[in-house]
Structure 1
């Protein structure tokens, strides 16, 4: 299988944070850095660096388990839209995507245009993905509006957006504990690590880059290093 890791499965938020990007954001240059400045300044204008974001946007545990995949062909990239080129290298396999979003369909705009929110659905339609599983993080159990909180509700929302034969090849599930549900390294053909900076706290870029180095990941599209940008 192919293992896709969106950093927003670990760089997340706590309940009742109404400006959290998990609820919906675009993926523009502003969203990747300037919007995080705005959030930090709104909380504590005088706080150093990204410290003001720590309470509302923590780095959840479980990501450390990904170090077990060292030695497997790995790539790191900026956005999940870049996954299309990665799938070309490993076509027709099952994909397990650890993510805060299913990435199966976009709710607005041109559904045929490749975006971070629909790469998996387009891959299923095109035969680049055989079967697809989205593994939501365990902390979604505390966020009632999050996709991974009510899996049946999320699946029902997908029904009008995907052909029945595509939806039949989709599984939505959730970690029962931090890092639970990750496959044994022997089952993984290749791994993709995705930064998704519009959705992930810049304070966690150091851990993200450290993981990429541990995995010896090839750079597809250079991610950002925002750790010193505040």
Structure 2
């Protein structure tokens, strides 16, 4: 199988953070950096760096387990829209996507244009993906309006957006504990690590870069450097 890791499965939020991007955000340049600076200033304009974000936007445990995939073909990239070219290297395989979003369909814009929110659905339709599983993080169980909170509801929402033959090859599930449900490395053909800066806190970029180095990941599209909030 192919293993896709969106960093927003670990760089998340606590309940009742109403300016958290998990509730819905676009993927513009401002969303990737400027919006995070605004969130930090709103919480504490005197706090150094990105430290004001840490209470509301923690780095959840479980990501450390990904170091077990060192030695497998790995790639790192900016956006899940870049997954389209990655899939072309490994066509027709099952995909396990660890993510806070299913990435099966976008609710606005041209549904045929590859974007972070629909790459998986388009991959299924085009035959670049055979069976697809979205593994939501365990902390979604505490966020009632998150996709991974009520899997039956989320699947119902997908029904009018995907053809029946596509939906039949989709599985939605959630980690029962941090890192639970990750496959044994022997089952994984290749791994893709995605920064998704519009959805992930800049406070966790150092861990993200460190993981990419541990995995010796090939750079497809350079992740955004957000080391300074200025």
Tell me whether the two structures share a fold, i.e. TM-score over 0.5: yes
Cα offset, 1:228, TM superposition: 2.5
Counterpart position of 2:13: 13
Counterpart position of 1:45: 45
Counterpart position of 1:186: 186
CA contact (8 A) 1:204 1:227 kept: no
Query: Which structure 1 residue ranges, 4+ long, deviate > 4 Å from structure 2?
Result: none
SS in 1 for 2:145: coil
SS in 1 for 2:176: coil
Counterpart position of 2:64: 64
Question: Aligned partners of 1:113 and 1:38: how far apart in 2?
Answer: 30
Cα offset, 1:219, TM superposition: 0.1
SS in 2 for 1:104: coil
SS in 2 for 1:94: strand
Q: Number of aligned pairs?
A: 230
Question: 1:131-210 residue pairs with structure 2 within 5 A?
Answer: 131-210=131-210
Deviations 1:38-79 (A, max 9, x none): 000011111110011000000000000000000000000000
Deviations 1:164-216 (A, max 9, x none): 00000000000000000000000000000000000000000000000000000
Gaps of 5+ in 1: none
TM-score using structure 1 length: 0.99
Question: Aligned partners of 1:51 and 1:222: how far apart in 2?
Answer: 24
Question: Aligned partners of 2:30 and 2:218: how far apart in 1?
Answer: 26
SS in 1 for 2:97: strand
Gaps of 5+ in 2: none
SS in 2 for 1:88: helix
TM-score using structure 2 length: 0.99
How large is the RMSD of aligned CA atoms in angstroms? 0.5
